[in-house]
């Protein structure tokens, strides 16, 4: 972990339009200002997946204003925990960082019904991550 009292987490997937956006939104929602949250993609899409926007709206989290961001070396360097979700070897590696790889189905091209179980699994993993970081979820 960094010397900062606030841990930082970076979520990375290919398009930064689905899984990483949901994970970042859940961590922001449940962790508040007790954790710094980033997300990025190795090949970002133009917009967040509409089915993801709808699935997150169903649980009271609005990601409609989010935009996919490109993965940068600086984002990785400034994060304590880097969680990849299918970005493969595109994610740079730096010693001293904690890396996790979450194998999750890609919601690209899926409808809301297919996104819901992915969303729910991401929320479960975020709650576990908060516990590991010693942060009590706000909700």
Top pLDDT among 2 and 127 is at 127
Q: What pLDDT score does 138 carry? A: 87
Q: Does 1 have pLDDT greater than 50? A: no
Q: What pLDDT score does 119 carry? A: 98
pLDDT-wise least confident of 10-24, 37-51, 83-97: 83-97
What would the pLDDT profile of 80-139 be if each residue is shown by its tens digit? 999 999 766 567 778 888 999 999 999 999 999 999 999 999 999 999 999 999 999 987
67 is annotated as an active-site residue: no
51 is annotated as an active-site residue: no
Query: Which of these is catalytic: 13, 14, 25, 75?
Result: 13
d(CA 113, CA 97): 35
Q: 115: part of which helix (H) or strand (E)?
A: helix 112-133
87 is annotated as an active-site residue: yes
């Amino acid at each position: 972990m960094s010397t900062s009292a606030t841990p930082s987490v970076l979520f990375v997937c290919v398009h930064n339009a689905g899984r990483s956006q949901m994970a970042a939104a859940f961590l922001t929602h449940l962790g508040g200002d007790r954790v710094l949250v980033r997300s990025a993609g190795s090949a970002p899409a133009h917009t967040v997946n509409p089915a993801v926007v709808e699935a997150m709206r169903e649980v009271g989290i609005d990601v409609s204003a989010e935009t996919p961001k490109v993965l940068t070396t600086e984002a990785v360097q400034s994060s304590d925990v880097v969680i990849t979700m299918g970005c493969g070897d595109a994610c740079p590696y730096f010693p001293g960082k904690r890396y996790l790889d979450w194998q999750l189905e890609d919601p690209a091209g899926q409808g809301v019904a297919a996104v819901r179980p992915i969303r729910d699994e991401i929320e479960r993993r975020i709650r576990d991550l908060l516990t590991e970081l010693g942060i009590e979820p706000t909700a």
